[in-house]
Amino acid sequence: MTILSNIGLSLLFITFLVSLYGIFAAVYGARRNAVVWVDSARNAMLLTFPLLTLVVFSLVLLLTGGDFQVAYVYSVTSRAMPLYLKITALWGGQAGSLLFWSWLLSAFIAAVTLRRWGSSHAGRDREFLPWVIVVGLITLAFFLLLSNFIENPFERYWQTPAGEMTALFQPKGALPLIPMDGYGMNPLLRHPGMVLHPPLQYLGFVAFVVPYAFAMAALITGRTDDRWLRITRRWTLFAWLFLSLGLVLGSWWAYQVLGWGGYWGWDPVETSALMPWLTGTAFLHSLMIQERRGLFKRWNIILITLTYSLVILGTFLTRSGVLSSVHAFAQSAIGPLFFAFISISFVVSLSLLLYRWNDLRAEGQVNSILSREALFLFNNLLFMGILAVCLWGVTYPLISELLTGQKVTVGPPFYERASGPLWGGLLFLMGIAPLSAWGKSTLATLGRGMWKPLAASLVVVVLVLVLEVRNPLAVLAFWLSGLTFFITLFQYLRGVSVRSRIAGEPWLTALWRVGGRNRRRYGGYIIHLAMVLMGLGIIGIEMFQSETQGALNRDESLRLDRYTVQFKSLRVFDTEDGRNVAQAVMHVYRDGRFLDEYKPRREYYYDAQQQVTIPSIRSTLEDDLYIILADWQPMTATNATFKIYHNPLVKWLWIGTYLFIFGMVVALLPREGTERQRGDEG
Amino acid sequence: MKTWFFLIPLLLLLLFPSAVWAETVEPTVVPSDDEVNAIAKNLFCPVCENTPLDVCPTQACAQWRELIRLKLAEGWTEEQIKEYFVAQYGDRVLAEPPRSGLNWLFYLLVPVFFLIGIVIVGRVLRSMRRPAGNAPGMAVPAGESDPYLAKMEEELRKRLKE
């Protein structure tokens, strides 16, 4: 096993050197206009991926083989853990997740080198190549610097006369120290949601490096037209898809594992992950304005720079320990390095932007505040408003601690109050923007497309009033959701109707083909519909959640809304994988009618000495009943405390996610019946 | 004189009923878990990072929840309980920074930022606008308000003619 550790360690360092060489060769090649050097840099960039694959493979073998002399293996695995968790322990701790980040990044930037650089636009795209390599490899080199010198996953335990220590190489007079078993991964991470959430989130993070690299390359080379946007449009969509899925999966994991009764707690780590999504979404909309109307070129550079910086900031906030205390930041070496990297990259990006400021003048005008581009601008303003709320909410506790010594908490009430109206505004804009035209729109044109969906949305209002919803904010939220849903649906159906009428196609054929004609547009519509569905889930849980808690003896019950939950029994047992499980059996009734048996449980992990609460959830399209075993008496097992949440509509959040994925696939597929764009994008 | 002395306790009882009862009546109703959680929900665990007190699974938090129950049983209000926790553990136990001192900056900065954003967007729009008569918007044929659909209609007609 020692050989594996040494191989991994050596290759990690070699990859770092290769990336440094690639940066040098690319800059030299670009400055001297030497194609050979640029090609050499390209090969270096390509080489980082197989090299890091071998590093990752070495670490995975160490993790699965249980080499506990390696400190990282000891900290995240134990003998009792199943094989799949030992593999996913690769991203279960700090050193491993930084390496994993680098590996994914190398995969992306290596893939960029494989695009046909000279096949279109008279090979002019090759101008971008050296600078794309420089930006990609600088980012990679920074993370490899951390992995090599600060958080090396191959550090080992040694026994010296002075005591235990960790070091990469055997200190003089030290003997290898091999613990009998590992500490094991944090039990909260031993869940399918957490197996998939980090890779998706990281994929989203690293994929945004690609459009940023092209943006910087455009500024450096002076190619300030929209070519860099067209090349990276698919990369951006891809990044946004994975970032979105990462967020949803993280929420699903929180809902299934944390036992808080909800999916989102405005925790700083969650909020940090949301921030690049906000700027990325704003960018996705804003880039269309540049493509269609030649406007907001500077703003697009700012947005992609912000997204890149927030990706790094999110990693910094979660990895430096700064969130627990500003003093932890000062004590760790990783924090100041991250801070320096973010600051330098941000300042350099802005300097390049200022340098090209005059070249990035708008080519067109905004002629009407109801035009599509103006509405997209308002959409961007709202996204930036939510970003300001999040950024300020995450950083203010640090500022307060730094300036006054007093630590404060910024919890859900602030975020919900400050960002709620902005989300509502976005929902409204999402509804009406597809009705407006590029260039010029009037109230009359908007009204013509709007009156039918508006009438349909009023039916929704009547329906929710009949269902005795009296909260004005809830009624407003349902109305906005209904309006957006019907406008989007009507827009799609109008396209189908036109196609069916003119081409004489059956409706179903037209339904399929109309999407193929403009996948970006109709993929976007599907995504908007998905967002409305997800919004329904959020409205349900945020505005209508109810809860109760109580200690029950056997056969006693708790009532919540229309549900009765009866405690039948409690069983405590050990499992083969090192858990002590306390599992209650509950009978659930609705309006007096027996529904089913549910088994909430608490698990105690012997290796990590940590307890996890696993709720039992009855999930339907109408609502979720979320039962938690909050506490129990170890001696008797006849009395236990249960907490029950009633979460209306929350399932629509997850259903919307499936539709969202479908919409993204539609948007990402090449346009039907044309090869025109092949080689033109990505 | 002595004959109406027995009225004094009765008079006191009428004038200060709560004071008299507080000394004589023991609290008999134990606050429910839901009453405790309603307050604990708005407090954060002083030890764990960013964990509301009502859902924190640690033993320490279970004891703090019992403390809230005790205080409620003693007749404390929600505000008094919050003040007690702040005095013991600092402002970090509150779900939001208290509205005082530097914290006003916290509450004012985001609205100010947003207003600046509105002003900037307004200026951008004004600087980019030109008279509507010169607008190069997409041509919209009569009967079809959506330029994209109009274009699609036109393309489909052409294709059918070919």
Residue pLDDT, tens place only, A291-341: 888 888 999 999 999 999 999 988 888 776 677 655 555 556 788 888 899
Q: Which residue has the higher pLDDT, B128 or A566?
A: A566
If asked whether residues A516 and A565 sit together in one domain, one would say no
Same domain, residue pair A231 and A325: yes
Higher pLDDT, B56 or A208: A208
Q: What are phi and psi of B87, to 5 degrees?
A: -65, -35
**pLDDT single digits (tens) A399-411:** 998 898 888 999 9
Q: Which residue of A has its CA nearest to B160?
A: A503
Query: Taking all residues of chain A, what is their mean pLDDT, rounded to a whole number?
Result: 89
Residue A60's pLDDT band (cuts 50, 70, 90):
very high
Same domain, A435 and A423: no
pLDDT of residue A131: 95
- A660 within a domain of the structure (yes/no): no
Decide if B147 and A498 are in contact by the 8 Å CB cutoff. no
At residue B28, the pLDDT reads 57
For chain A, say whether B121 makes contact (Cβ under 8 Å): yes
CB contact under 8 A, A418 and B124: no
Of chain A, the percentage scoring pLDDT greater than 90 comes to 62
With CA atoms as reference, the chain A residue closest to B101 would be A404
A669 inside domain: no
Indicate whether A240 and A176 sit together in one domain.
no
Model pTM? 0.88
What is the C-alpha to C-alpha distance for residues B128 and A170, in angstroms, rounded to an integer? 67
Pair A501, A385 in one domain: no
Do A131 and A204 share a structural domain?
no
| pLDDT of residue A681 exceeding 60 | no
Q: Is residue A68 part of a domain?
A: yes
H helical segments located in chain B? 7-15, 17-24, 33-40, 59-73, 78-89, 103-128, 147-161
Domain match, A534 and A548 both: no
The whole-number pLDDT of residue A676 equals 45
What is the pLDDT confidence band of residue A628, given thresholds at 50, 70 and 90?
very high
* Confidence band for B22, pLDDT divided at 50, 70 and 90: very low
CB A544, CB A648: distance < 8 Å:
yes
Domains held by chain A: number: 4
Q: Is the pLDDT of residue B82 over 80?
A: yes
CB A70 within 8 A of CB A154: yes
Say if the Cβ atoms of B153 and A445 lie within 8 Å: no
Say if residue A447 is in the same domain as residue A401: no
- Same domain for A381 and A277, yes or no, is yes
Position A88 scores a pLDDT of 92
Residue A164 gets the label, from left (phi > 0), alpha (psi -120 to 50) or beta, of beta
Q: Choose one of A538, A563, A585: the last residue of a domain.
A: A538
pLDDT at A458 over 50: yes
Interface probe with B: pick from A318, A367, A373, A497, most Cβ of B within 10 Å: A367
Domain enclosing residue A396, as ranges: 198-356+370-427
- Give the domain CATH number at A586: 2.60.98
Q: Do B52 and A260 touch (CB under 8 A)?
A: yes
Out of B62, B113, B138, closest to residue A388 by CB:
B113
| Domain presence at residue A666 | no
Residues of B in contact with A404 (CB under 8 A): 101-102
Residue type, A132: V
Distance of residue B47 Cα from the nearest chain A Cα, in angstroms: 11
Which of 65-84 (B) contact A at CB < 8 A?
A: none
Same-domain check for residues A29 and A126: yes
Q: Tell me the pLDDT band of A556, cut-offs 50, 70 and 90.
A: very high
Residue A234 domain flag? yes
HSE-up of residue A133 (Cα within 13 Å, Cβ side) = 34
Where is average pLDDT lowest: A40-54, A194-208, A490-504? A490-504
Q: What is the pLDDT of residues A648-674, one digit of tens each?
A: 999 999 999 999 999 998 888 876 655
**Minimal C-alpha gap between A71 and chain B (Å):** 25
CB contact under 8 A, A435 and B153: no
- Please report whether residue A362 resides in a domain: no
A630-646 per-position pLDDT tens digit: 887 766 667 899 999 99
Say if residue A421 is in the same domain as residue A502. Answer: no
Identify all chain A residues contacting B89, using CB atoms and an 8 Å cutoff. Answer: none
> What is the pLDDT averaged over residues A90-97?
90
All residues of chain B having their beta carbon less than 8 Å from the beta carbon of residue A548 are 33-34
CA distance A227 to A205: 23
Q: Say if B143 is an interface residue toward chain A (CB within 8 Å).
A: no
Q: Decide: A27 and A137 in contact? Cβ < 8 Å.
A: no
Nearest to B145 among A445, A499, A548 (CB): A445
Confidence of residue B20 (pLDDT cuts 50, 70, 90): very low
pLDDT for the residue A316: 82
One domain for residues A347 and A453: no
Exposure b/e, A173-192, CB count within 10 A at least 16 = b: ebeebeeeebbbbbbbbbbe
Which of A437, A448, A521 is opposite residue B137, by nearest beta carbon? A437
In a domain, A144, yes or no: yes
**What's residue B141's pLDDT?**
40
This model of the complex carries an ipTM of: 0.81
6-65 in chain B: CB under 8 A from chain A? 32-34, 37, 42, 44, 49-50, 52, 55, 57, 62
Would you say residue A664 lies in a domain? no
pLDDT tens-digit map of A496-528: 888 888 878 888 888 878 777 778 888 889 999
Distance CA(B53)–CA(B44), nearest Å, equals 5
Q: What is the pLDDT of residues B115-158, one digit of tens each?
A: 999 999 888 888 876 554 444 444 444 344 566 666 766 766 66
Residue A389 one-letter amino acid? V
Query: Residue range A586-597: average pLDDT?
Result: 96
Domain termination residue (choose one: A490, A520, A538): A538
CB contacts, 8 Å: B143 with chain A: none
- The average pLDDT across B53-59 equals 86
Specify the residue for token string 């707690």. Answer: A265
Of A483, A509, A538, which one is at a domain's C-terminal end?
A538
